[in-house]
Amino acid sequence: MQKLMECVPNFSEGRNMDVIKRITDAIESVEGIKLLNVDPGKATNRTVVTFVGTPERVVEAAFLAIKTAGELIDMSKHQGEHPRMGATDVCPLIPIANISMEETASYAQALAKRVGEELKLPVYLYEQAQTNPARKNLSLIRAGEYEGFFQKIKKKEWKPDFGPAVYDAKRGATVIGARDFLVAYNVNLNTTSVRRANSVAFDVREQGRKVKNDKGEEVMQPGSCKSVKAIGWFIDEYGIAQVSMNLTNIGITPVHIAFDECVKSAFLRGMRVTGSELIGLIPLKAMLDAGKYFLQKQQRSVGVSEEELIRIAIKSMGLDELTPFDPAKRIIEYLLDDTSAAPLLRMNLKQFANETASESPAPGGGSIAAYIGVLGVSLGTMVANLSSHKKGWDERWKEFSDWAAKGQLLKDQLLKLVDEDTHAFNKIMEAFGLPKGTDAEKATRIIAIQEATKYAIEVPFKVMEVSLQSFEIIRAMAETGNPNSVSDAGVGALCARTAVYGAYLNVKINASSYKDKRYTSRKLKTAKELLDKAKEQERKILGIVERKMDKS
């Protein structure tokens, strides 16, 4: 349950790669920090860096980055398209895992205090780290930008939260805060007009635009997207105008909705959206939701693989129009993924078979049972997808899409259990390898063996539960799915029953080595009930399959 915090500092340098490298080197000098992304922009002359780690290490890395940027960047010579006020323009901290926003805000405040006191740099707090409501909004703090801040900082209401109330000509000032995950996102237009791009930005941003009411008074007319900030600009590097957006709460306005709203506005104003550009990273869920959204608009099944959903999202929003979009480098969960944690899933079919057939005891029957379960539910999901796209069944696409989506969820759970069963076996082997020279070591070893054995019972039991759930999908497809694929549903049922039975055998053999007989008695009783249900489901589904095939 390690606490994880993300930091996404924006530095006012996007062209000198040596300067950028020295800043990121400072960040990576802190042990335990993982640098996820470095995204320089030539036109904006700005680099967005993303890194994660435990809170204390993130704060230390952020401090070193701010210090290094102040030494290397001269704001008096800086020019760029993006609003800015300092060498480290903004430095937000973001809660990622097992840490509250309140805790994150306290770390931001501590970082701001240290920067102000040790680096003698004007520092402003924003968002959740700021207690003054009038100074929470970044755009209000940054208004006037670098050039205007020499006078702004002298005003009582704009005295820095930390550091001197004197503007630093070389380093500028910085803004440090705590916020939810923000997606920086630009939509490309087939125009060079900043005025036209702004018209789209005003249509979609929450703030909207100024209009005159019936009395001739100027009032704000809200835009179509909540929690969205947007402006229009021209990017010389690409030769196009863009709508540049910050999506401050993608739970309220996700990326795909912001994109579509820009599409609608541009069309009404005689323009066309040609693609879009992600700055920095994006959560996996945002990409999966986008893929599903665009498939649903086409009345196509959303029950496809994670990889396919991401591909649909990239193509639908044109995320690869300006530069290649590599999901492995842009999706935060993929960057945090430990590639060594699932070695079996990264094998091809031949490698997996060879490893199973080798003298190594793992993968064994538990992993194979889980993988057979994967194949069973995958066949049911295939029938659902074929049925969703069957000619003449257009009115039923949603019904089969829902079944396919359920199948994909079960498939993904079982895929993880393939490696997890082998991991459980390895834990038992590790426990048996613990030292046993003293009474204390013996006691520790016995406890470790029992804990590992219990885990080795729970994993195949989970395989039984998930594989049993797949019968619902397989049976529905045998009964109502594409009749040309009814045999596939039958094979799916055979696989699912085998998965449940195979996992049951692993539960039973591991339970024999566990000392808590009350626990094993309950677990085996429940496991036997699951097995009986699987056998009955298999019998019924094969009966349906045989009858349909006989009729044809």
Q: What is the DSSP string of 112-140?
A: HHHHHHHS---EEEEETT---GGG--HHH
Residue partners of 452: CB distance under 8 A and separation at least 6: 424, 427, 428, 430, 431
Q: How far apart are the first and last CA of the chain?
A: 56
Radius of gyration, CA atoms only, the chain: 29
- For residue 31, what are its two tokens? 């042990």
Q: What does each C-alpha distance from 285 to 25, 79, 308, 310, 331 come to in angstroms? A: 30, 36, 14, 10, 9
Catalytic, out of 39, 161, 168, 421: 421
Which residues on neighbouring strands pair with residue 39, listed in sequence order? 48
439 in active site: no
Confirm whether 78 is a catalytic residue: no
Strand partners, 11: 47, 88
208: left (phi over 0), alpha (psi -120 to 50) or beta: left
CB 125 within 8 A of CB 108: yes
Query: Counting beta carbons within 10 angstroms of the beta carbon of residue 195, is it exposed (0 to 12), middle (13 to 18) or buried (19 or more)?
Result: exposed
Distance CA 358, CA 21 (A): 46
**Separation between Cα atoms, residue 187 and residue 222, nearest integer Å:** 20
Q: No. of H helices and E strands in the chain? A: 17, 13
* Separation of alpha carbons 54 and 22, rounded Å: 22
Distances (CA, A) of 214 to 18, 208, 209, 354: 57, 18, 16, 78
Burial classification of residue 384, based on how many CB atoms lie within 10 Å of its CB (0-12 exposed, 13-18 middle, 19 or more buried): buried
Out of 39, 82, 256, 419, which one is annotated catalytic? 82
DSSP conformation letters of 290-325 = HHHHHHHHTT----S-HHHHHHHHHHHHTTTSSS--
| Of the candidates 385, 398, 386, 424, the residue with the CA atom closest to the CA atom of residue 506 | 424
**Angle formed by the axes of helices 194-204 and 255-268, to 10°?**
130
Give the amino acid at 259.
F
- Whole-angstrom Cα distance, residue 9 to residue 28? 14
Q: Which helix (H) or strand (E) holds 174?
A: strand 174-178
* Distances 484 to 475, 476, 481, 489, 541 between C-alpha atoms, Å: 15, 14, 9, 10, 16
What is the set of active-site residues? 82, 421
